Structure formats: structure tokens, C-alpha cells
Structure 1
């Protein structure tokens, strides 16, 4: 059936499949964390999101309109992780990577068993559309001190560094703080980097709106710790874009992302290496979405490290530890 469907129909089928899986995961975590005998406040009463203009000029709105944080069971992150595994058969752990090179650091491991096609992780953090690239910390050399950036095919960038390892509660999160200093990477600033900063100073904004109530204990919000496979090793997951519909208020706390600015207000088109504003509003036929990413298992997984093909650009110097999984695929990705 899928082979006879149009590309647009196939994309729709994939999105529906991912959404149904994530909805099921949210239902399971609700059952673990929420007291069914106590009414919960809907996030639909949350403060309306600020416009992109208010971010650009640094205007802070009133701080007394924050949404209420629903009461949840006082479980530790590790306790929620174990209960999730008991319910769905797997969870994620972060520990020393088994990749044999000095820069591998920590990796993410699937604890339990997952079948082919399972959504096993969500890429957390702050989402930047091309219209807001200059707000990414460190712009224009955004990756000089941050290895937790990823780009979707549509140009959307997700910065997972502020999310870190998550947290120990459900809380109002605005993306402005990083809870674990281990994620800070110290890098020597070269003369060329200083020149770039002088010529193209990044725009500054300390907050991402008034924030959202997010479940910082989410055991699956760890996709940013997935490592690239070593030589002669194949990846066992793939990246898949996921457009989360913001109309799904009951699921929102488990989607570990915030959008910088109002991405729905600006439509961008790419010409070569440059992005340009195109039109006044990027209307979504099915309503506003949050453009994030998930990791999907490409093989049956059982108590093993999660490995993702980074597909780094072949037009730039690659790290010494990087071995292409498929050189032709890398070329198609960046052509």
C-alpha cells in the first residue's frame, strides 16, 4: 500500500504512526504520574505565546500569567523510568559510550526491548526556525562549543544543550538554564571566530516566551546523547521529523521542546545556502505545530547502545573519529 501512495500520503502515514505511538506513551506516563482522583488543570489556560517581535526587541510581558503546574506523584526520574519500562518494555539510560574513541563521552542505551519501527526517543530543547538563526547561542559559529545541535530537512534547528539530562519534576521551563554543568564544552576561541563575532554579532534574548509546563523527568527525552556508530558498525535508529500538533493540550507536557519566537508567523524559503522570508504567514492546514524530531528503531533492539548515523556534511572538515556509514547518502543529504 505504501509503495502505491504518493510521497505526501506516505509522509502523512508516517506522521500519524509516530503521533499515535507518542500519544500512547503520553497516556502511559499520565497513568504513572497523575492522580486520577484529583482534577488536573489543562494547559489550555496557559499564557498566550509571545510574538516574534517581542522576542526580537527583548520585551518581557507580565510574569503573573504563568500557567499552573499540575500536581504529579513525587517520583524521581529513575523511578518514572523504571515504571515506564515495566509498562512498555523499554526505557533509556545515559552512561559511558562503548564507541572506541576518546571523544565519544556518554551515550544513550536502550534498557529493555523495542521492536522495529518503535519511537524510542525524542530530541529535546529549543527549536529555531531559519528566521531566528541569529538567536542561536554562539551564532554564527553555533557548533563551536555545542555538540547538541541538530537540523531537520526543512532547516529547523533544535538546540538540546539547555535541556541537559532533564530534571526531577514537572515544571515551568523557559529553556534559559542548563541543569548539569557537564554539558558545557570548553573550546578555545580562534582568531577567525573572534572576527566572525565582530562581523556578525548574534542577537540576544534571555528567554523563550513565558515558558511551558514540561515533564522534565521524561525518560525518553534523551535523543541528543545518541552517538555515531564506529567503523564497521551500523546504526540501529533513524531520525524522523515529527510535527506535534499544539492542539493536543493533554500531551504537551511530554513534548520536551520550546519554539523560539512565533515560527508560524514567518515563512522561509531556501535558495542555495541562504534562507529568505517568503510571504507573511506560514499557515498550517491542520493548525500550529511544534517541529521536533524523534528516533525510530530500524532493527529490533535489546539492551544496547543507540547508534545514529550523523550524516555530517562532506563539504566541511569532519572529525577524525567520523566514518561515513554511506558516503552517497551523506552527499544526497547535503546536496
Structure 2
């Protein structure tokens, strides 16, 4: 397998320099990332008993297949892994469940809030609150240990090994995982561009929140409300008790920043927010937001992978630690200058199913009992913190061009 991995690594270096996918710098970086994810996750799916001809076939596909086709394959590869991960957790938490009426599927079906409940208020909403299926009374730590016994690895949160005063907590892999493995899920509330103004602290949303991440498609995930999860399976609505309007920012604001904050306040939550879903708050992989940027001289061992979770997979739903702000109703966006305007789509397109636009962290090499590092790719156009050392300055520039 080491020999095959070296072949994959050489292919990644070669294809990353290929201009065949390039349209502009930002798209070039996106295409290069998709290409790497295609190779990593496909390599992982080959398994330990793969042959050289299998690896060569995948490398050849990576050089010929369109970015769209590679994206589809990455989605399939990640979904394949997550399905096994969810089944593993289900076998630990609900091994004796035989009554289908108590399955996560039914909890999901009951969790849709009706239009009537929105119209008449909280009384009906409480009546429609989704039922939480019974699970074994394991603590989060107990579930994590049992998951490691079954799957070979789990995650720990403990002080980072980075020698810097601002390093804080770090994300550590306990156990061993091969290259291309899904190691963590980025939890929290998902905001499409249609709902940016509902993000706490808007418009300076990162002033008091370091747990925000943005996908290439503009989707923002706020992991701060999730934090460390919980000790039960429960209905989670993504509420955050922090008042961002009264919390001072980490760094001093300029006069223009203060004026912008006064003129552009976040919109208040209303009927457009979703009611909540039954989620497994003990999920041992829901800690992607604790991965630190690598210190100078070190390379990242995980990378971001966009993953669109299909909500038709109802048995998996409790283990996907995200909810979409505004629900699942399709929204189309139009942009005029720096402003976004939304309009409700007339309906779903044929063959289109609702998804949660999430993120997972995928390993870029074999990892074993070590801290996980993720390339933050901070923009060079804004002030970077003193601890930030670019992994690849050109990648940073292309990402935010």
C-alpha cells in the first residue's frame, strides 16, 4: 500500500499544476482541491488489498474526468464512509431496537413543522415536537471509546501541542486511520447566502467567533452553538446563548467598523428558522471546528471536503451534526454589487432532493495518535494573526482571488 500511496502522491503533484481545469485563480484552486479529494478518497475506498492496476486506473481517471464527475465520485466516496460510520454508532447506541416506529427515520419524519404550527404559534409547535428515540445511556466518552473499538479511531479534545500562547485546544486522533479517511465532521448551523444577515454578530461575524467556516459555494457553517456537543440524543435547534451585540470583539474596531456594525445589524430570528432536528449530541466525530492551523515547518494532515448530505438518508440523519437555518425550502439568490437578494424557488427541480451542505475533514496521509492540522488559508488582504504561517501562499491567494 505504501508503494501505491507514493504513486497517488506523485499524481496529485502533477495534476495540481495542470492548467486543464483553470478558468480563474479561484476556480483553479477549487478544481485542484477536488482533484486531490478524488484521489485521496478513491484510494481509501480501494482498501488494503488493492492492486497496482486499480490505482493506475484511478490516476488515469483523475487526469481525464471532468471536475463535475470527480465531485460526484468524491460525494459517493465520502457518503460510503459515513454510512458505515453511522451504522457503527447505531450498533453501539441502539443494538436491541426492533420496533421501526422507534427508529431515527420516524424521528426525522415527525420533525417537520407544519405551516399551521407556524401560523398559530408555540402551542401547536410543541405538539409537533419530534420524538426522541430511546438509546443506551452511554456518556459521550463511553460512546467514543466503543466507537474506537469498532472503527479503529476516535477524536479527543485537549490542549494543542503548538508552541504558541493562542493555540488553545486542539483536535487529536486517537487510533489509526488511512489516507482519504473521513476523520471529523464540521458541526453547527448552516447559513446559505440568503440568510447571512441572521448570522450572530453580522456584519462582523468573526469578531467574537472563531468557529466559522465558509465553503466554496458561499455556505457558512457556525460551529459555536454546537461547541462540545452534549450527553444525549435530543432535539437541537442551533440556539446560541451568546449576545454578540454586547460582546466586545477580540481586536479593537476602527471607526468604520463601528459605523458599519451600527448600520447593519443582524436580523432577528423569526418563522424562517427551522424547528430543530433529533441529533446525536454525543457524536464522537463532531469536532472538526477544533482542528488548528499547522505551526511553521509542519504540513496539514487533513483537508476540507464539501459534503452534501442527502436528507433522504433518514437513518443517518441523527449522526449529521448540522441544521440548516431557514429550513430546506429552495432559495435562489441574485447579486447586485455587494448585496444579495433572495427569492423563493417555485419548486424543486426534477430529480433534485434536499441536502445539508456540510463539511468533513479528510486525511491527506496515514495518521496515528497525533494532532490534526488543517490549512486555514487565511486571506492575505486582511490582517492575519501573528501565529499564522502560510502553508502555501499561492493557494491562499487563489482561494480568495
Judged with a 3 Å threshold, the aligned counterparts in structure 2 of structure 1 residues 126 and 139 are, in CA distance, closer, same or farther, namely same
Which residue of structure 2 lines up, in the alignment, with residue 2 of structure 1?
62
Partners of 1:150 and 1:3 lie apart in 2 by 30
Secondary structure of the structure 2 residue equivalent to 1:62: helix
What does the per-residue CA deviation read over 1:261-307, in whole Å, with 9 as the maximum and x for residues that have no partner?
A: 03542122567755444773584644000000000000100000000
Alignment of 1:192-271 (within 5 A): 192-205=256-269, 208-262=273-327, 264-268=329-333
Partners of 1:319 and 1:262 lie apart in 2 by 35
Secondary structure of the structure 1 residue equivalent to 2:293: coil
Which residue of structure 2 lines up, in the alignment, with residue 331 of structure 1?
397
Relative to structure 2, which stretch is displaced further, 225-234 or 279-288? 279-288
Judged with a 3 Å threshold, the aligned counterparts in structure 2 of structure 1 residues 288 and 20 are, in CA distance, closer, same or farther, namely same
Which residue of structure 2 lines up, in the alignment, with residue 91 of structure 1?
154
Which residue of structure 2 lines up, in the alignment, with residue 142 of structure 1?
205
Aligned residues: 327
Partners of 1:141 and 1:279 lie apart in 2 by 27
Q: Return the TM-score normalized by structure 2.
A: 0.76
Which residue of structure 2 lines up, in the alignment, with residue 296 of structure 1?
362
Partners of 1:297 and 1:272 lie apart in 2 by 38
Partners of 1:202 and 1:45 lie apart in 2 by 31
Q: Return the TM-score normalized by structure 1.
A: 0.90
Which residue of structure 2 lines up, in the alignment, with residue 48 of structure 1?
112
More helix by share: 2
Relative CO higher for 1 or 2, CA cutoff 8 Å, sep ≥ 6? 1
Counterpart of 1:31 (choices 91, 95, 99) is 91
Partners of 2:333 and 2:113 lie apart in 1 by 20
Relative to structure 2, which stretch is displaced further, 317-326 or 276-285? 276-285
Which residue of structure 2 lines up, in the alignment, with residue 305 of structure 1?
371
Give the number of the structure whose alpha-carbon radius of gyration is greater.
2
Partners of 2:327 and 2:274 lie apart in 1 by 9
Contact 1:163 1:178 survives alignment (8 Å): no
Partners of 1:145 and 1:165 lie apart in 2 by 18
Question: RMSD over aligned Cα, in angstroms?
Answer: 2.5
Q: What's the offset of the Cα at 1:2?
A: 3.0
Contact 2:113 2:128 survives alignment (8 Å): no
Judged with a 3 Å threshold, the aligned counterparts in structure 2 of structure 1 residues 153 and 281 are, in CA distance, closer, same or farther, namely farther
Relative to structure 2, which stretch is displaced further, 32-41 or 131-140? 32-41
Q: What's the offset of the Cα at 1:3?
A: 2.4
Contact 1:164 1:178 survives alignment (8 Å): no
Which residue of structure 1 lines up, in the alignment, with residue 382 of structure 2?
316
Judged with a 3 Å threshold, the aligned counterparts in structure 2 of structure 1 residues 307 and 253 are, in CA distance, closer, same or farther, namely same
- Structure 1 unaligned residues grouped into runs of 5+: none
Contact 2:208 2:250 survives alignment (8 Å): yes
Q: What's the offset of the Cα at 1:225?
A: 0.2
Partners of 2:327 and 2:275 lie apart in 1 by 13
Judged with a 3 Å threshold, the aligned counterparts in structure 2 of structure 1 residues 213 and 98 are, in CA distance, closer, same or farther, namely same
